[in-house]
Amino acid sequence: MTAHESRRRDAAVSVAAGVLAVAASYAVAGATASFVASPIDRAIVDGTPGAIVTFMIENVGEPAHLLHLGGAVAVAVGLFGACVFGGLRVAHRVGRPLGGTVLAAGAAWLLATGLTGAPVSAVAAGLSAGVVTAAGVSGAVPDAVDPSRRQALAAVAAIVGVSGAAALIGRNRGGDAAPAAAPAPGAAGAEARLGEVEAASLDVASDDLHGLVSPIDEFYSVDIAEFEPEIPAAEWSLTFTGETGSDLTVDYDELTEREAEHRLVALRCVGEDINERKLDAAVWTGTPIAPLIDAVDPEGACDCAMLRGEDGYYVQFPVDVLSEGFLAWGMNGRALPPTHGRPVRVLIPGHWGETNVKWLTEIELLETEEDGYWEERGWEGTGPVNTVAKLWDEGITDLGDGRTELAGHAYAGTRGIDRVEVSTDGGETWTDAELSAELPDEDAWRQWRHVFEPDGAHEVVVRATDGEGTLQPAAESGSVPSGASGWVSRTVNG
């Protein structure tokens, strides 16, 4: 083999090794922050200019994730491949096969540890890099430039097979697939409260439309990071920093020993379209944040705080608003699921979803106002939510007797909902919908229901009036920068 051929062969083996190292890392870490592509993905997302992020959210939507994710995986493959290429070169040029193998494995392990800060799961990437280098050195890997295609194909098939297996293993780890959450501290009270709230739900005909409590696996989720942080409760703490009169750090045990409350709280993302489904509610278990704020005695001139999550997310808003907040460790009677901020998140009554920081680890009291993650990207989503009444597909049910049931949810944050009206003639005439009972929770939503006898196609419009008597504005606007407005209107029976 000429020197040139040998280099090409090493390059091919290195790409294969890069793929395997990334696959092995995924098999061990799953879709978590310990997966080697995770920090790269975050760097890509953080480095993308805000205007592009907003353009992608508006025009590409969810599939845009695949773009940065694919880029992150490709970069990871390149980096681990480079470790192996270095090892192979040392083995061939200097004639030190063992040295080259150890070098490749060590470099890959160091790289994975450096990227993720998780030395134990980094062993997977280091080991697979070492194994492939050893195979490449010993000649056990088919010559990639050899015309013997069968061997090359077999190698590709093996890589695809191993990666596929790794993907399957990884999917069952971490992220949403983490072991079903244990009951949260104070869960007994949560179960009772959950029962009460469910009993207050309207009895709608549709099986697919949930009531006042969104099931955990249907609750929407918005993350800036593709891979969620994993923080064992025993290692979690919340620290108050910055302009404080006295410092304070609370750990999980100290927090959950405080008096627990079980609140029905709805969340709504400022980025959703008027009838989208980024609005949900759960019964959250937690404790008010006000006593902690009092204890730290904020002194900053702006009376504002920057909240930070372990995933690198940050958002800033007034201390007064924060003082109304609730630190939650339970959701619908279970420990907080990974996707929703395990072990602890904050819930800010009545403000847009972005203020509800998940994996909350730091609250910095500021001297002057600063932009949060989304505000740096052009959003203005730290204020109170807009009023909305929804009519989703699953809320439209043909009752089979000539009647159609329309049902949905309405939300206006802490203003509450007083009334939902339905028009079946495009807004000419309006009828009051039936409403679910009003609950004591300050940031709850309500359900509405209206049955009518359709006669051909109907233009159905719904609108809510909040607890202050203000009708949901009819003027339509998109979600950027401060939330969608207008009335939900759709053709039924058409």
Contact residues toward Mo ion (CB under 5 A) are 222, 269, 353-354
Length of the chain: 494
Determine the Cα–Cα distance for residues 9 and 27; give it in Å rounded to an integer.
27
- Minimum Å gap between C-beta 357 and ligand MTE is 4
Name which of 478, 481, 479 is nearest 379 in CA terms: 481
Determine the Cα–Cα distance for residues 86 and 74; give it in Å rounded to an integer.
18
- Minimum Å gap between C-beta 336 and ligand MTE is 9
Can you give 221-278 as a three-state secondary structure string? Answer: CCCCCCCECCCCHHHCEEEEEECECCCEEEEHHHHHCCCCEEEEEEEECCCCCCCCCC
Exposed/middle/buried for residue 479 (C-beta within 10 Å: 0-12, 13-18, 19+)? buried
Closer to ligand MTE by CB, 136 or 309: give it. Answer: 309
Q: Which does 240 bind (CB under 5 to 8 A by kind): ligand MTE, Mo ion, none?
A: none
Closer to ligand MTE by CB, 240 or 374: give it. Answer: 374
Q: Under rule CB under 6 A, how many of the chain's residues touch ligand MTE? A: 18
Closer to ligand MTE by CB, 80 or 359: give it. Answer: 359
- Minimum Å gap between C-beta 398 and ligand MTE is 31
Closer to Mo ion by CB, 57 or 102: give it. Answer: 57
Q: Characterize 265-295 residue by residue with b for buried, 16 or more Cβ atoms within 10 angstroms of its Cβ, and e for exposed.
A: bbbbbbbbebbbbbbbbbbbbbbbbeebbee
Tell which one of 313, 326, 329, 445 touches ligand MTE (CB under 6 A).
313
- Minimum Å gap between C-beta 289 and ligand MTE is 15
Closer to Mo ion by CB, 174 or 353: give it. Answer: 353
Tell which one of 269, 296, 385, 406 touches ligand MTE (CB under 6 A).
269
Can you give 111-156 as a three-state secondary structure string? Answer: HHHHHHCCCCCHHHHHHHHHHHHHHHHHCCCCCCCCCCHHHHHHHH
Q: Does residue number 267 form part of the binding site for ligand MTE (CB under 6 A)?
A: yes
Q: Which does 267 bind (CB under 5 to 8 A by kind): Mo ion, ligand MTE, none?
A: ligand MTE
- Minimum Å gap between C-beta 269 and ligand MTE is 3
Crossing angle of helices 37-47 and 97-116, rounded to 10°:
50
Q: Which does 430 bind (CB under 5 to 8 A by kind): ligand MTE, Mo ion, none?
A: none
Q: Which does 286 bind (CB under 5 to 8 A by kind): ligand MTE, Mo ion, none?
A: none
Exposed/middle/buried for residue 117 (C-beta within 10 Å: 0-12, 13-18, 19+)? exposed
The two tokens of residue 133 are: 């280098």
Closer to ligand MTE by CB, 345 or 449: give it. Answer: 345
Site string for ligand MTE, 221-250 (x = CB under 6 A): xxxx--------------------------
Closer to ligand MTE by CB, 80 or 313: give it. Answer: 313
Which helix (DSSP H) or strand (DSSP E) does residue 192 occupy? helix 187-199
In 372-466, the DSSP E strands lie at 388-389, 396-398, 404-411, 417-423, 431-432, 434-435, 446-452, 458-466
Q: Which does 356 bind (CB under 5 to 8 A by kind): Mo ion, ligand MTE, none?
A: ligand MTE
**Contact in structure between 452 and 424 (CB atoms under 8 Å):** yes
Determine the Cα–Cα distance for residues 152 and 405; give it in Å rounded to an integer.
61
Site for ligand MTE in 322-381 (CB under 6 A): 340, 353-354, 356-359
Q: Which does 221 bind (CB under 5 to 8 A by kind): ligand MTE, Mo ion, none?
A: ligand MTE
**Regarding beta strands 334-335 and 404-411, do their DSSP bridges make them parallel or antiparallel, or are they unpaired?**
unpaired
- Minimum Å gap between C-beta 374 and ligand MTE is 6
Which residues make Cβ contacts (< 8 Å) with residue 305, sequence separation at least 6? 242, 298, 316, 317, 318, 319, 322, 363, 364, 365, 366
Site string for ligand MTE, 200-219 (x = CB under 6 A): -------------------x
- Minimum Å gap between C-beta 328 and ligand MTE is 10
Q: Does residue number 305 form part of the binding site for ligand MTE (CB under 6 A)?
A: no
Q: Which does 452 bind (CB under 5 to 8 A by kind): ligand MTE, Mo ion, none?
A: none
- Minimum Å gap between C-beta 270 and Mo ion is 5
Q: Does residue number 480 form part of the binding site for ligand MTE (CB under 6 A)?
A: no
Q: What are the φ and ψ backbone dihedral angles of 334, each rounded to 5 degrees?
A: -105, 165
Closer to ligand MTE by CB, 158 or 224: give it. Answer: 224
**Contact in structure between 458 and 223 (CB atoms under 8 Å):** no
Site for ligand MTE in 152-171 (CB under 6 A): none
SS3 371: coil
Closer to ligand MTE by CB, 345 or 419: give it. Answer: 345
SS3 3: helix
* Residues lying near ligand MTE in the complex (CB under 6 A): 219-224, 267, 269, 309, 311, 313, 340, 353-354, 356-359
